[in-house]
């Protein structure tokens, strides 16, 4: 999933300061799963904004709403009847959702209420880690199912650097050495000879190195 974290309240307030009526918009997908921008977080943020306004003797009208998917035009259309009841939109979706809104409602200011972080998964309750950088040419088939691009701090493709100690990356205690993990997996799978194959320099075009990427499925596109 795409993970996100809520922005500091002061930053959010700085965006919405000039406006009287706000549409605070959650998303029911990834940001709900990672507890950053779903229905519940929309409610919490709305209260936080109201309390802060009250403290400063100001007032603001906040309309709370959560879409099934903010990155999908089909769901964004749902906003047409209500969009003009707000002066600005504060989106709690990832950057994809924010941009979907900005593209659809060209004259409406849209602000992000979260920082989009990474594509990852949950390690345990309340903890998410990065798993994929969307390089567009998946290597997992030869690295034992563990990604050196996303999980090695130097995205080394041919083995661990000299800073790997006891399974820990040189950058710090919390980070596991990706190549240590890969090596353990290759051992468990009886595939250690695979390590000797040199992985050639990567073609980053697939990973966004030559501009924004696009997928067109002729069989589906209208």
Partner 1 sequence: MKTQSNLEKVLSGGHLAVTSECGPPRGASAQTVVDKAKYLEGVVDAVNITDNQTAVVRMSSLAGSVLVKQQGMNPLLQMVTRDRNRLAMQADILGAYALGIDTMLCLSGDHTKFGDHAMAANVHDIDSIQLIQMVKGMRDEGKFQGGAEIKGVVPKMYIGAAANPFADPFELRVMRLAKKIAAGADFIQTQCIFNIEKFEKWMEGVRKMGLHEKCYILAGITPMKSVGAAKYMKNRVPGMDVPQELVDRMSGVAKEDQPAEGIKICLETMERLKEVEGVAGFHIMAIDWEEKVEEIVKQAGLYPRPQV
Interface positions with partner 1 (CB under 8 A): 153-167, 170-172, 177, 179-180, 183-184, 192, 195-196, 198-202, 204
Determine the Cα angle at 158 with ends 153 and 159, to 5°. 65
Q: Smallest gap, in angstroms, from Cβ of residue 117 to partner 1? A: 17
| 213, 96 Cβ separation under 8 angstroms | no
Residue 65 or 185 with smaller CB distance to partner 1:
185
Alpha-carbon distances, residue 118 vs 9, 121, 128, 177, 194 (angstroms): 21, 9, 9, 19, 29
Residue 201 or 215 with smaller CB distance to partner 1:
201
| 49, 12 Cβ separation under 8 angstroms | yes
SS3 184: helix
Residue 74 or 173 with smaller CB distance to partner 1:
173
Q: Smallest gap, in angstroms, from Cβ of residue 163 to partner 1? A: 4
Residue 190 zone, left/alpha/beta (φ > 0; ψ -120 to 50; rest): left
Q: Smallest gap, in angstroms, from Cβ of residue 209 to partner 1? A: 8
Q: Smallest gap, in angstroms, from Cβ of residue 178 to partner 1? A: 12
Determine the Cα angle at 50 with ends 46 and 53, to 5°. 140
Residue 9 or 157 with smaller CB distance to partner 1:
157
Question: 20-56 as b/e, with b when 16 or more CB fall inside 10 Å?
Answer: eebbbbbbbbbbbebbbbbeebbeebbeebeeebeee
């Amino acid at each position: 999933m795409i993970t996100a974290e809520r922005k500091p309240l002061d930053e959010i307030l700085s965006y919405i300061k000039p406006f009287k009526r706000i549409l605070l918009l959650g998303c029911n997908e990834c940001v709900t799963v990672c507890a950053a921008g779903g229905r519940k977080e929309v409610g919490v943020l709305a209260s936080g904004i109201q309390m802060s306004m009250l403290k400063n003797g100001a007032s603001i009208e906040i309309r709370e709403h959560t879409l099934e998917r903010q990155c999908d035009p089909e769901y964004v259309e749902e906003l047409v009847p209500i969009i003009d009841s707000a002066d600005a939109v504060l989106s709690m979706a990832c950057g994809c959702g924010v941009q979907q809104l900005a593209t659809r409602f060209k004259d409406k200011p849209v602000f992000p209420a979260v920082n989009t972080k990474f594509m990852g998964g949950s390690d345990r309750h309340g903890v998410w880690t990065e798993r994929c950088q969307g390089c567009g040419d998946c290597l997992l088939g030869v690295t034992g199912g563990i990604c050196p691009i996303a999980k090695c701090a130097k995205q080394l493709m041919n083995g661990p650097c000299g800073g790997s100690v006891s399974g820990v990356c040189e950058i710090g205690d919390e980070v596991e050495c990706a190549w240590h993990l890969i090596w353990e997996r290759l051992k468990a799978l009886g595939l250690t000879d695979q390590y000797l194959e040199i992985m050639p320099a990567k073609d980053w075009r697939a990973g966004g190195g030559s501009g924004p990427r696009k997928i067109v499925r002729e069989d589906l596109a209208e």
